[in-house]
Amino acid sequence: MNRHAVYFQEQDKRREILVLLKKRRSVDVHELSKHLGITKVAVRKHLDVLHRERYIESRIVRKRTGRPAYVYHLTKNADQLFPRHYSDLATEMVAGIQDLYGEAFVDQLFEKRMARMLQNHREVMRGQGFDQRVKTLARIQKEEGYMPHLEKIRDGLYTLEEANCPLLQVAIRFPQACQCELSLFESLVDAQVERTSCMAEGQVKCRYLIKEKLSHEES
């Protein structure tokens, strides 16, 4: 393997570390070694690089038994490495629209965006059953940069977690963005959707419960 191939392989491993930290909040060397399939020594070398680049920090966690362990988490500098869809510019533009035309116009703006997304994705889900619609929604969110994790709790019930929000700064200032996303999920999947945590409200992730409608509840 030439040195260029080695360089890009190492970059991929560091990218995997960053993504895992984004999803799990904090991870120790043992977990990283197991996830990446490389030695702890190799993991520490990657962590040293990421620490020098100020993308990660560490803290000591004391366990009931055994020696204290270091766990690693992302810094604010790492936010720039994940999709954000030009959030600062978007926030200022929406704020400018609100100043010029009022809050009702901003509501219409988000509703229009939701209508476009419905139009773009609804046809893909046509004819799909509940389980497949939920999986299609997770795929759409992955393509949009939300870093979703989908888990089936039981028949007719899923949890969808999103570790990244490309529109986070917009959503913090304009809660309409979150409400429209919730409505979009309900319409696309044709299900009962409840948001149980939200990054715009200070939680670590956005989390949704997606429940299949009973036959008598369907419209």
Delineate the domains of the chain, giving CATH numbers in brackets.
Answer: 3-81 (1.10.10.10), 87-217 (3.30.1380.20)
Look at residue 2 and tell me whether its pLDDT is greater than 80.
no
Q: What is the mean pLDDT of residues 75-86?
A: 73
Question: When comparing pLDDT for 82 and 219, which is higher?
Answer: 82
Three-class DSSP category at 175: coil
Q: Which helix (H) or strand (E) holds 211?
A: strand 206-212
Rounded mean pLDDT of 73-79?
Answer: 84
Stretch 86-102: mean pLDDT = 78
User: End-to-end alpha-carbon separation of the chain, Å?
Assistant: 59
What does DSSP assign to residue 90?
H
Name which residue leads in pLDDT, 214 or 49.
49
pLDDT score at 6: 45
What is the pLDDT, as a whole number, of residue 90? 75
Residues 84/166, Cβ–Cβ less than 8 Å: yes
